[in-house]
Amino acid sequence: MDEKIRFLARLRAGWKNPDRRARWIVVLGITGILLIFFSQFLGGGKEQSPAESGVTRDSAVYIEELRRELSGILSKISGAGKTEVMVTLQNDGETLFAKEERVELDSTQSAGTNLSERESRDETYVMVDGADGRSALVRTRMEPVIKGVVVVCEGGDDPVTVSRIMDAVTTALAVSSAKVCITKLA
């Protein structure tokens, strides 16, 4: 116990000295900066943002749902047999929010013919109260754009089956046949 009291007394005495206080502040500041810097490498339990991970959770769910439904439908086509589907997205879709726009026009005319006009715009998002708190009002949600589809099936070597599958995929997903690849399951 005596050791603790002596240590605290020395620490307190050192803190009163302006030179030592400045050193402690610098050391603590550098330590804080280093901790912040290294926390980026350690991860710190932080989830990646959609921009960092490439595909958002909503997009992953969308792809999985689409893949499962498409695989189920295609496997029912005559001659297709067991079917596996892969879908890739070009983007994550887009959400457009409702905005209020206020436009102010100021026009002034100085002596004679000099007329000057100034326009100022102010946009704000329309906010609504919901179960999760306040959030922006969604005006439109656009589905993600499909980049490509790969279908692997047992009947992938039969031209008639391939044609049926191609028609089904291009119709269901509204994509061109250039974005669809159909091949035989090994």
Are 119 and 155 contained in the same domain?
A: no
Q: What is the DSSP pairing of strand 133-136 with strand 127-130?
A: antiparallel
pLDDT at residue 46, rounded to an integer: 43
CATH number where 168 lies: 3.30.300.30
- Going by pLDDT thresholds of 50, 70 and 90, the confidence category of residue 14 is low
Are 54 and 82 contained in the same domain?
A: yes
pLDDT at residue 57, rounded to an integer: 60
Are 102 and 132 contained in the same domain?
A: yes
Residue type at 152 in one-letter notation: V
Question: Encoding tokens for residue 25?
Answer: 């502040």
pLDDT at residue 186, rounded to an integer: 82
Average pLDDT value over all residues in the chain: 80
Domain that holds residue 169: 50-93+143-184
Are 61 and 72 contained in the same domain?
A: yes
Q: Are 74 and 149 in contact (CB under 8 A)?
A: no
Give the CA radius of gyration of the chain: 32
Q: Which residues pair with 60 in a beta bridge?
A: none
At 171-181, the pLDDT tens digits run 999 999 999 99
Are 89 and 147 contained in the same domain?
A: yes
Portion of the chain with pLDDT greater than 70, in percent = 81
Number of structural domains, the chain? 3
The CA dihedral of 30, 35, 37, 42, to the nearest 10 degrees, is: 160
Question: Encoding tokens for residue 140?
Answer: 């439109």
On the question of pLDDT at 23 being above 80, the answer is no
Are 82 and 10 contained in the same domain?
A: no
Report yes or no on whether pTM surpasses 0.75: no
pLDDT at residue 82, rounded to an integer: 92
